[in-house]
Amino acid sequence: MTESEFFAASALVFKRLGENVSLSQLHSFLPDLAPELIPTGRFDALIDLSEVKELDSNYTKISSLISTMESLYQTHVAPHRIAFLAPGDLAFGTCRMVEQLAQGRLPTEMLVTRDPIEAILYLAREETTIDQLQDALTRAESDDGFGCARNLANA
């Protein structure tokens, strides 16, 4: 199962991909938001692939994804930075392929790492675990009057 939330107060999308990621869910690797959802005009994303065991992807599918996102980002706000947390070999290799194919084509900086602390620091956050990050994001939504984080639709 794929979970995705946009934390407006922190301008951060947090996505957690489930054990099996199919072609229809591959778009989850690269988030997009309509401009009206982003109060600051930019946002970052953390894509957590810690639970991924099976991944239906290959060079052709990822290249197609990058082309689709390249077109989409002409009309939608692209993430400023994406941190891919991919501790497993399959997820790490796939994310590295996404990173390489996106280079020079998407207006987004990317990091692929196996280390949660590195992913969090890359997004200029102070937390040291994913649980701490989620707690801080949730608190920021309440403290800043934005209400609850918005769940984003996923296929």
User: What are the pLDDT digits (tens) for 120-144?
Assistant: 999 999 999 999 999 999 999 887 5
Average pLDDT, the chain: 85
What pLDDT shows up at residue 154?
44
- pTM > 0.95: no
- E strand or H helix at 31: none
Q: Which residue has the tokens 């099996």?
A: 20
Read off the pLDDT band of 30 (50, 70, 90): confident
Give me the mean pLDDT over the 12-24 stretch. 82
Measured CA to CA, the distance from residue 9 to residue 14 in angstroms comes to 13
Domain ranges of the chain: 3-151
Give me the mean pLDDT over the 22-29 stretch. 66
Amino acid at the residue 107: P
Rounded to 5°, angle at Cα 45 from 40 and 102: 110
- Beta-bridge partner residues of 14: 5, 46
